[in-house]
C-alpha cells in the first residue's frame, strides 16, 4: 500500500507521469559530464562508472568547481600555500582523469570550503552543459546532509549538487534563462538523464567489477591527499556493500532522473 501522505511524481502537476525505473544496467551514454566540488570527489564516488563508460566509447568531461585548495589539516604540509596546493591538486585531478579515460577537465576556481549554490555558479555550470551537450550529467545528492552517524555531507558537496541540478533544469534547456550565454553562441541543450550518486534511495546500479582496479589507480593519483594511505581495501569494501542489494561483487549506485528520451 502506498502512503497517501507521501509525495510522488503524480503529486506534482508538472510531472504527471511516473517513469518506471529499469532494473537492468543502463547502457553507456555517448557523452557524459561529471560535476564535483573538489579534486578526488569523483575518484571516491563515480570513477568506476566513468572508467566503464570510457571503455565503451563514451566521451567524458569532468568539471571540478573548486581546486581543493583548503586541503585537510593533517594531510597538508605546514609550508604549503593555497595557490601551490590548488596547482598540485589540479594536476592530480588531470592525472586521475587520464587513468579513467576522461578527455576534458574543466576547473571553475571557486574557493574551497565556502561554496554556495549561487546564480553565478548555476550560470557557469549551464555554460559548460551547453558547451559540451552531454546526454548524461553526474552529480551528488544535495538533499543528503548526514551519512550514518559519523559523516556529515560536506557543504561544498551539497552546494555543487544543488547548483548542478538547477543548471540542468531549467537553465541549460531554456533559451531565455541566462540570455548572455546566447551571446556567447551557446544554444540551449536538454540533458536526457541525471545520475545522482550518494543518494539514500538508489535504484540504478552499475557493475564496476571489471574496472575496480582502474578506479583505485585513479584515486591513487591524489598523492597530496592520500600520502602513505592505500585506499584499495576501503574502495573494494564500499563497492561490495553497494553491490549486496543486486547480488554483485562491485557496484556504484545511483538515483537516476530521466528528463528526456524514455
Residues 249/209, Cβ–Cβ less than 8 Å? yes
Write down the least CB distance from residue 203 to Zn ion, Å: 24
Owner of C-alpha cell 528528463: 259
Pick 38 or 127: Cβ nearer Zn ion: 38
**How many CB atoms are closer than 10 A to CB 21?**
11
Exposed, middle or buried, 12 (CB in 10 Å: 0-12/13-18/19+)? exposed
Single out the segment in contact with Zn ion by CB under 5 A; choices: 14-22, 33-41, 58-66, 113-121.
Answer: 33-41
User: In the structure grid, which three cell numbers stand for residue 91, read together?
Assistant: 594536476
Pick 58 or 159: Cβ nearer Zn ion: 159
38 binding Zn ion? (CB under 5 A): yes
Write down the least CB distance from residue 38 to Zn ion, Å: 4
Residues 2/27, Cβ–Cβ less than 8 Å? no
Write down the least CB distance from residue 231 to Zn ion, Å: 14
Write down the least CB distance from residue 54 to Zn ion, Å: 22
Write down the least CB distance from residue 220 to Zn ion, Å: 17
Pick 43 or 207: Cβ nearer Zn ion: 43
Q: Give the β-pairing of 251-258 and 193-197.
A: antiparallel
Write down the least CB distance from residue 97 to Zn ion, Å: 16
Contacts of 92 (CB under 8 A, 6+ apart): 39, 40, 221, 222, 223, 224, 225
Write down the least CB distance from residue 40 to Zn ion, Å: 7
Map the footprint of Zn ion across residues 40-69, applying CB under 5 A. Answer: 41
Task: Compose the 163-202 pattern: x for residues touching Zn ion by CB under 5 A, - for all others.
Answer: ----------------------------------------
The residue number whose beta carbon is nearest to Zn ion equals 38
The number of residues that bind Zn ion (CB under 5 A) is: 2
Map the footprint of Zn ion across residues 80-119, applying CB under 5 A. Answer: none
Sign of CA dihedral 44, 87, 55, 167: positive
Pick 26 or 198: Cβ nearer Zn ion: 198
What whole-number distance in Å separates Cα of residue 96 and Cα of residue 156?
21
Chain-centroid distance of CA 261 in Å reads 21
Single out the segment in contact with Zn ion by CB under 5 A; choices: 38-46, 52-60, 175-183, 206-214.
Answer: 38-46
**How many CB atoms are closer than 10 A to CB 180?**
9
Pick 38 or 158: Cβ nearer Zn ion: 38
Positions of E strands within 140-192: 146-147, 151-152
Pick 38 or 222: Cβ nearer Zn ion: 38
Q: Which residues make up the interface to Zn ion (CB under 5 A)?
A: 38, 41
Amino acid at each position: 500500500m502506498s502512503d497517501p501522505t507521501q509525495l510522488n511524481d503524480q503529486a506534482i502537476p508538472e510531472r504527471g507521469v511516473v517513469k518506471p525505473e529499469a532494473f537492468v544496467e543502463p547502457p553507456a551514454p555517448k557523452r557524459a559530464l561529471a560535476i564535483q566540488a573538489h579534486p578526488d570527489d569523483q575518484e571516491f564516488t563515480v570513477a568506476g562508472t566513468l572508467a566503464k563508460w570510457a571503455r565503451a566509447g563514451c566521451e567524458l568531461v569532468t568539471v571540478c568547481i573548486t581546486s581543493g585548495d583548503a586541503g585537510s589539516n593533517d594531510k597538508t604540509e605546514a609550508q604549503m600555500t593555497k595557490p601551490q596546493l590548488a596547482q598540485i591538486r589540479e594536476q592530480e585531478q588531470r592525472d586521475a582523469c587520464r587513468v579513467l579515460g576522461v578527455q576534458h577537465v574543466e576547473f571553475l576556481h571557486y574557493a574551497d570550503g565556502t561554496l554556495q549554490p549561487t546564480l553565478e555558479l548555476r550560470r557557469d555550470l549551464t555554460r559548460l552543459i551547453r558547451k559540451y551537450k552531454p546526454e548524461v550529467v553526474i552529480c551528488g545528492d544535495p538533499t543528503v546532509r548526514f551519512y550514518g552517524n559519523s559523516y556529515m555531507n560536506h557543504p561544498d558537496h551539497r552546494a555543487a549538487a544543488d547548483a548542478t541540478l538547477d543548471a540542468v533544469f531549467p537553465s541549460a534547456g531554456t533559451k531565455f534563462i541566462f540570455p548572455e550565454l546566447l551571446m556567447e553562441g551557446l544554444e540551449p541543450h536538454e540533458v536526457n538523464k541525471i545520475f545522482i550518486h550518494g543518494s539514500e534511495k538508489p535504484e540504478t546500479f552499475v557493475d564496476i567489477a571489471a574496472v575496480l582496479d582502474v578506479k583505485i589507480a585513479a584515486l591513487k593519483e591524489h598523492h597530496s591527499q592520500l600520502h602513505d594511505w592505500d585506499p584499495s581495501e576501503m574502495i573494494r569494501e564500499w563497492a561490495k556493500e553497494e553491490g549486496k542489494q543486486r547480488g554483485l561483487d562491485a557496484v556504484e549506485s545511483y538515483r537516476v532522473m530521466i528528463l528526456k528520451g524514455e
